[in-house]
Amino acid sequence: MTGHDRAMTSFDAGLKALVEKNADIARALKLAGAPPSRNRKPGFPSLLRIIVNQQVSVPAGKAIWERLETGLGWVTPKAVLEKSDDDLRAFGLSRGKGRYAKKLAQAVMDGGL
């Protein structure tokens, strides 16, 4: 069983448990269907993308991510750390997200993640 298979099994089991405990969730699931899985490949780009997409609309997150990919070339910890705070802001990251991106990149470079 792959990691994705395990995640989907866990996701499905979680939905089933919620349906069994809450009639409102059961009705919503019946009407709207299951939410899409948001499994991502493990690694720095996926973690950074989670930061980028927090508290922004899907189209805004996509646009910021595309500018980030273009500006960095390769989405790597080294590439993020080589950019200035102003560069990251020009790609669309807020000051806070820029700080988080650099802290994440440094943690990966230091072997903490």
Q: Which amino acid is at 43?
A: G
Residues 12 and 65 occupy one common structural domain: no
Would 91 be classed as within a structural domain? yes
Residues 67 and 13 occupy one common structural domain: no
Cut 0.85: pTM above it: no
- Residue 5 has a pLDDT of 53
Tell me the per-residue pLDDT of 35-92, one tens digit each, with 9 for 90 and over.
877 777 788 999 999 999 999 999 999 999 999 999 999 999 999 999 999 999 999 9
Residues 12 and 55 occupy one common structural domain: no
Residues 58 and 25 occupy one common structural domain: no
**Does residue 81 contact residue 109 with C-beta atoms inside 8 Å?**
yes
Range of the domain at 76: 44-109
Would 37 be classed as within a structural domain? no
Give which of 11, 44, 45 is closest to 29, Cα–Cα.
Answer: 11
Would 39 be classed as within a structural domain? no
Residues 72 and 52 occupy one common structural domain: yes
**Does residue 104 contact residue 48 with C-beta atoms inside 8 Å?**
yes
| pLDDT(1) > 70 | no
- Residue 90 has a pLDDT of 97
Residues 82 and 102 occupy one common structural domain: yes
